[in-house]
Every structure is written in structure tokens, then in C-alpha cells.
Amino acid sequence: MRAVSVLRQRLSTGGRLLGQSQLLARNDVLRELFTSGCVRDASGALLDEAGGISLSYAEALYQLVRARKPQLAVEVGMANGISTLAILTGLRDSGSGGHLISIDPHQGRSWRGVGVLQVCRAGLEDHHTLVEEPDYLALPDLLRANTRVDFAYIDGWHTFDHALLNWWYLDKMLKPGGIVGFNDCRYRAVRRTISFLLTHRSYRELELGITPNILRAPWLWRSIRRVSGWTVTDRYFEKLDAWEPDWDFYAPF
Ligand SMILES: C[S@@+](CC[C@H](N)C(=O)[O-])C[C@H]1O[C@@H](n2cnc3c(N)ncnc32)[C@H](O)[C@@H]1O
């Protein structure tokens, strides 16, 4: 079972990236996770299935956060904390003194607190706050508290209503020049949310050169994408300005 887990993780990381990753060089907890394909609970027992985003996406997330130096980042969906650790490592390495708020109602119950544990093991807890509430309660609370966000990463419940609601609230808090990233962009609900954002607000997509894990050759990926319209799992968008449409605006999306 363990061997299957490691193999699956190796395939999803693209194998070669393990040795090349700057993120893994900077974070021992993530290195162990991606090497073993497992996480440890509070008792130290190995749990199969680390889950979460794969290494090439975690690496891109880390690099982007490190380059953009956000003061406040918010993520929806923490699970075992892979995206959380990628963001927190980027915040630490950028020297910005930035903070991350993770929203996940199931961290304690379903995930046995492993995400939070990983953050502590990596010594990054001072930069982190967990809000253990569902997105539809946590995000309005943050908005009411006049929270201003520089960076957001959406990887929670992937139905259209939640994906759109996540982005909608985060957009209200996102500063112009801020960035929102979406995981699981191959889901139709997430793609529809992105179409809405591009037609009803002022955003531009960032070309980060992320390729799916099994397609390490960028030229091959570009050709396949042109022919098939296939999309990568993670996509990022920069908010250009605070423009919002008039009350009766509608654009097909
Ligand atoms: C795919 S996992 C996130 C993986 C994580 N980003 C990582 O890289 O390890 C999706 C997460 O969304 C959380 N979730 C489910 N419903 C939610 C809700 N209503 N609000 C916020 N998070 C939710 C789940 O508990 C789960 O941890």
C-alpha cells in the first residue's frame, strides 16, 4: 500500500522535480511528504495518501508568493497543508513578514489536525491563522472586518456556487495588483467561475509556464493545449483595477 502511495506521488510530481525543487530544498516537512507520499499524524504514525496539490503546482505557488511578497494571503481548503506550507515558505523566504489565513471547516475532524501540525513542524505557525469555519461564513466575516488581501488561493469545495462565492468574496477584499489562484481548473465549475471573472471584472491571466506533471516538455504541452484546449490544474489571475460593472450589466460567460 505504501509503495503504491510513493509511486503515485512520484508520478504526480514528475519524479525529476523532486531533486530540482527550490521549495523542497527550503522545507524539510514538504520534502518528507513528497518523498514518502504520506503524512504523519500527532502520534508520528504514517498516514497513506498525502493528497493535496502536486509538487509542480506547490513549487509554482511558492515561487509566485516569494516573488510577489504579499502582506496577507488567504487560502480556502487546507487539508494536509501542502498549499499552506508552499505559501508560508514563500512568505518566509520573501522576507515580507506576511501572514496566511487558511479557511477549512474540517481541519480538526476530517484531517485530524495534520495540516496545522505540519505548519508547526515546519516552524511557520507564527505566520499562520486557521479559521475553522465553512467558506460561506468565514469569508463574509473577513470582509466585514475590512480585511485587505494581496494573494488568494482557492482549493475548497469545487461546486460552481462555492467556487464563484469564494472568488466573489475574495475579489471584494483583493487589492488591485493582487493575485487569485485556482486549483482544480479542469473542473467545469472552476472554469465557469474563471470565465465569469474574466468577463465581469478586470483581471489578466498570468503565464507561469506551469505544465502538467507528466508533460515536462513545454513545447509538447503548448501543442497539446492548442489542439485540445486542455488546461492545467492551477491558474493564476492578477486583478488589474477595482472596476465593477454597472447594476444591469451582463456578459455571456
Ligand atoms: C483538495 S482539499 C485542499 C488541499 C490543500 N489545498 C492542499 O494543497 O493540501 C479541499 C479542502 O476543502 C475543504 N473544504 C470542504 N468544504 C469546505 C468549505 N465549505 N469551506 C472551506 N473549505 C472546505 C476540505 O476540508 C479540504 O481540506
**Tens-digit pLDDT profile for residues 172-199:** 999 999 999 999 998 999 999 999 999 9
pLDDT > 90 fraction of the chain, expressed in percent and rounded: 72
Angle made by CA atoms 55, 198, 60, in degrees to the nearest 5: 15
Q: pLDDT per residue over 143-156, tens digit each?
A: 999 999 999 999 99
Q: Among candidates 231, 69, 77, 239, which has minimal Cα distance to 153?
A: 77
Lowest-pLDDT range of 13-22, 85-94, 181-190: 13-22
Give the per-residue pLDDT at 18: 76
| Residue of 27, 157, 161, 185 to mutate, ligand 1, most atoms within 8 A of C-beta | 157
Residue 83 has pLDDT above 70, yes or no: yes
Residues 87, 58: Cα–Cα separation, whole Å: 8
Rounded mean pLDDT, 5-14: 49
CB 85 within 8 A of CB 57: no
Give the per-residue pLDDT at 47: 81
Lowest-pLDDT range of 16-25, 162-171, 178-187, 205-214: 205-214
Residue 54 has pLDDT above 60, yes or no: yes
| Residue of 62, 74, 106 to mutate, ligand 1, most atoms within 8 A of C-beta | 106
Q: pLDDT per residue over 210-238, tens digit each?
A: 765 555 566 666 666 666 555 678 999 99
Three-state SS sequence of 4-61: HHHHHHHHHHCCCHHHHCHHHHHCHHHHHHHHHCEEECCCCCEEECCCCCCHHHHHHH
Amino acid type, 139: L
Residue 106: burial class (beta carbons within 10 Å; 0-12, 13-18, 19+) = middle
Q: Which atom of ligand 1 is nearest to the CA of 86?
A: 8
Kindly give, in sequence order, each residue whose CB lies less than 8 Å from that of residue 170, ignoring residues fewer than 6 positions away. Answer: 74, 76, 139, 149, 152, 154, 180
Rounded mean pLDDT, 57-79: 97
Model confidence, pTM = 0.90
- Using pLDDT thresholds of 50, 70 and 90, give the confidence band for residue 11: very low
Q: How far is the CA of 118 from the centre of ligand 1 (A)?
A: 16
Q: How far is the CA of 247 from the centre of ligand 1 (A)?
A: 33
CB 238 within 8 A of CB 228: no
Using a 6 Å CB cutoff, which residues line ligand 1? 52-53, 76-83, 103-106, 110-111, 134-135, 155-157
Angle made by CA atoms 38, 191, 78, in degrees to the nearest 5: 30
Rounded mean pLDDT, 104-108: 96
Residues 178, 98: Cα–Cα separation, whole Å: 14
Residues 84, 75: Cα–Cα separation, whole Å: 8
